[in-house]
A and B are shown apart, each in its own frame.
Chain A
Amino acid sequence: MPEQSRAEIQFHHIGRQREAERLGMLVFLASEIMLFGGVFLAALALRMLHPQEYVAAASHMKLWHGTANTAILLTSSLLVALAVEWTRGGRPKWAARCLWAAVALGLTFLGVKAHEYYLDYREGKLPGAANANFSTPFEQLFSNFYFSVTGLHALHVTAGIILLALAALRGEARHDRHAVFIGNVALYWHLVDVFWIFLYPTIYLAGAGE
């Protein structure tokens, strides 16, 4: 009797397995969209209640750090999409290279973020720090929002980096022509990218040119 893969034992054919795991992953991602949805509703409420103050507070954000990080995440997403493509095409070496490059970009993102936090701290914009110094109560409110949402996002980036590294390390995953593990890790990473795409106008572009 030929050896059966685990997928074949559980599913009648591989197509059905693919549909099941994609759907499961997307339902999980939908719950993530709800989590970040609350964050965006908070931003909307802040902006509707205090339109001018919102723009003024956002103008203190480090636009170039945010822009660089957007470019970094978009590039990493492309690399992860290519990794999935090359896993399916039976080129595990190229898949590993793309995944490691994406890990490096993810770490760079966190590095830029950490530098931005450090500059915020030095300027007294870190709520709760001994040197905290806000010109208006709204500015502090905006800072609370900024640190919670970028912190939540950075946690997701950290989890994504660990998953990408696992995918790169596991030869079994990279030799799987159906790209089950790598495909789902990629979906997660892309969604973390999508969140940042919307955080960019919310935090950084709102105050640009002011």
Chain B
Amino acid sequence: MSANVKRLVAAGLMLQILLGLTLLVAFLPLGSLKPWIGYGIASAKAALVLWFFMEMREEGGLVRLATVAAFAWLAIMLTLGAADYLSRGWVAAYLNP
């Protein structure tokens, strides 16, 4: 097996291990931490897929920038969306304490 094939198989194994880990954590009594860990592990899995399977490790700056840009805009959308829903009661609470 070539080094590339070994690297891909290792990444594939790591993905399955992370899947087992995220499933295990979901059953632990961690309360409000659970979604953070769940999405944290999902991000790690997505990073492995992007870096090894989608070959970001071999790409140049322009292609990496195009990829990161998509996620950066997504992060802006999710942050602004969350800011809206989190802060909706604030003005009313300030005016009518």
A: residues with CB less than 8 A from B are 19, 22-23, 26-27, 29-30, 33-34, 37, 40-41, 44-45, 47-49, 67, 70-71, 74-75, 77-78, 80-82, 85, 89, 186-187, 190-191, 193-194, 197-198, 200-201, 205-206, 208-209
For B85, give the chain A residue with the smallest CB separation.
A48
The reply to whether A85 and B62 form a contact with Cβ atoms under 8 Å apart is: no
* B50 to A, closest residue via Cβ: A194
Are B11 and A41 in contact, CB atoms less than 8 angstroms apart? no
- Which A residue sits closest to B23, measured CB to CB? A67
> Which residues of B does A touch, CB under 8 Å?
2, 4-5, 8-9, 11-12, 15-16, 19, 22-23, 26-29, 34-35, 38-39, 41-42, 45-46, 49-50, 52-54, 59-60, 62-63, 66-67, 69-71, 73-74, 77-78, 81-82, 85-86
**14 A–B pairs (Cβ distance < 8 Å), ordered by A:** A26-B67, A30-B69, A33-B70, A33-B71, A34-B70, A41-B77, A74-B45, A75-B16, A77-B15, A81-B8, A82-B5, A197-B46, A201-B41, A209-B29
Residues of A near B53 (CB, < 8 A) are 77-78, 80-81, 186, 190, 193
Give Cα A80–Cα B69 distance, bound, in whole angstroms: 25
Q: Is A78 within 8 A of B26, CB to CB?
A: no
**Total A-B residue contacts, Cβ distance less than 8 Å:** 124
Q: A19-B63, A44-B81 are in contact. Are A70 and B38 (CB under 8 A)?
A: no
B66 to chain A, nearest CB (A): 5
- A44-B2 contact, Cβ under 8 Å, with A75-B12, A82-B8: no
Pick from B11, B27, B42: contact of A201, CB below 8 A.
Answer: B42
Q: Which residue of chain B has its CB nearest to the CB of A194?
A: B46
User: Does B82 contact A44, Cβ atoms closer than 8 Å?
Assistant: yes
Residue of B nearest to A45 (CB): B85
**Supplied contacts A78-B15, A82-B5, 14 more A-B pairs, CB within 8 Å:** A19-B60, A26-B63, A29-B67, A34-B73, A37-B74, A41-B78, A41-B81, A44-B85, A67-B23, A190-B53, A201-B22, A201-B41, A205-B22, A206-B35
Contacts of B60 in A (CB 8 A): 19
Q: Give B66's nearest chain A residue, CB to CB.
A: A26
Contact of B49 among A29, A33, A190, A205 (CB under 8 A): A190
CA distance A70 to B42 in the complex (A): 11
Closest chain B residue to A36 by CB distance? B74
Q: Are A67 and B52 in contact (CB under 8 A)?
A: no
A208: chain B residues at CB < 8 Å are 23, 26-27
User: How far in angstroms is the closest Cβ of chain A from B50?
Assistant: 7
Q: Given that A78-B53, A85-B4, A198-B46 are contacting pairs, would A30 and B66 also be in contact in the complex, using a CB cutoff of 8 Å?
A: yes
